[in-house]
Chain A
Amino acid sequence: MKTAVVVFPGSNCDRDVQRAVCESLKTSVDMVWHEEERFSIQPDLVVLPGGFSYGDYLRSGAMAARSPIIKAVIEHAERGGLVLGICNGFQVLTETKMLPGALLPNTSLTFICRRCHVRVEQTDNKFTYGFKKGEILQFPIAHHEGLFFLPEDELKKLEDSGRVVFRYADPCTGKAGAEYAPNGALNGIAGICSEKGNILGLMPHPERATISHLNGGTDGIRFWDSIAKAFAERGAF
């Protein structure tokens, strides 16, 4: 599975993703500068990493969403290619309208950096195929704008279409929802996918839960394996 990580000015999780994918999937990862207009090697998976692209100026992800490389990312997704947006990458995906919604400032108005738990809400997509519905995973979060927002009617449509992939949860009871969201996300939404299931955006960082000595846990390893499994068994295109 060929992977490309897009690097924006202000990205700071690009190398974490590169190392996480390299070590878990034993594959090379192309780092692609945002000013490129196309990928030199057509990737299977494109990752938009976390960070503070363009210093979060104007709105988080707004400027990165208008970068030259984004046209190639959209074309890749339209062909059925995999696109994963983590944290700031999720914000970029909503700004490009590749995924619905917007990420607003946390209700606490603080930057939250800590471990959190999410429940796998569906596995009929290219990313959580290797998990069981209802499984609880531990991924760290680190963001200031993580409150997932959609107007009520659109939120209902999103829920009804089963596109919520991860929801913040209590690891003891297995319950998930708004009351477990550290950031005030509506319905406790931590991650959503596109209709075809080939685009995923999530606020938590699986790449920080991949290398055990980073203390973020190792559930990220299973996440990368799950993507590779879906790709191998179902194909991405």
Chain B
Amino acid sequence: MFFQAEVVITPREGVLDTQGKAVEKTLTHLGYKGLDEVRVGKIVKMKLEAEEEKEAQKTIERMCSDLLCNDLIETFKISVREILQ
């Protein structure tokens, strides 16, 4: 089975996100009011083959701890859906 996965990586709470702060400041300059805690992260998209969705999920979790995410400063969320190859 083939899966399309998306990993959303964001800075952990309490970790200074200078990029988020800069974006927040600029949005405020543009007139957007009531903004608070803008955080900038990244998305990693991938296609992968696995026996089932659970296996795909577990493989990506391992990828996150091995490389994609630094757990000291980042957190991640994974979404997986089956696709036709």
Contacts and interface: CB of A to CB of B under 8 A. Distances in A.
A109 B72 contact: no
Interface size class of B (residues with CB under 8 A): 10 to 19
Interface in A63-108: 63, 66, 95, 101-102, 104-107
Contacts of B19: 105, 109
A59 B70 contact: yes
Interface residues of A, number: 18
A66 B70 CA distance: 13
A147 interface: yes
B50 interface: no
A63 B67 CA distance: 7
A62 B70 contact: yes
A149 B22 contact: no
A125 B8 CA distance: 40
Given A102-B72, A149-B72, 8 more contacts: A58-B68, A66-B66, A102-B73, A104-B16, A104-B18, A109-B18, A149-B15, A149-B73
8 contacts: A59-B70, A62-B70, A105-B19, A109-B18, A149-B73, A150-B72, A151-B14, A184-B16
Interface of B: 14-16, 18-19, 22, 66-68, 70, 72-73
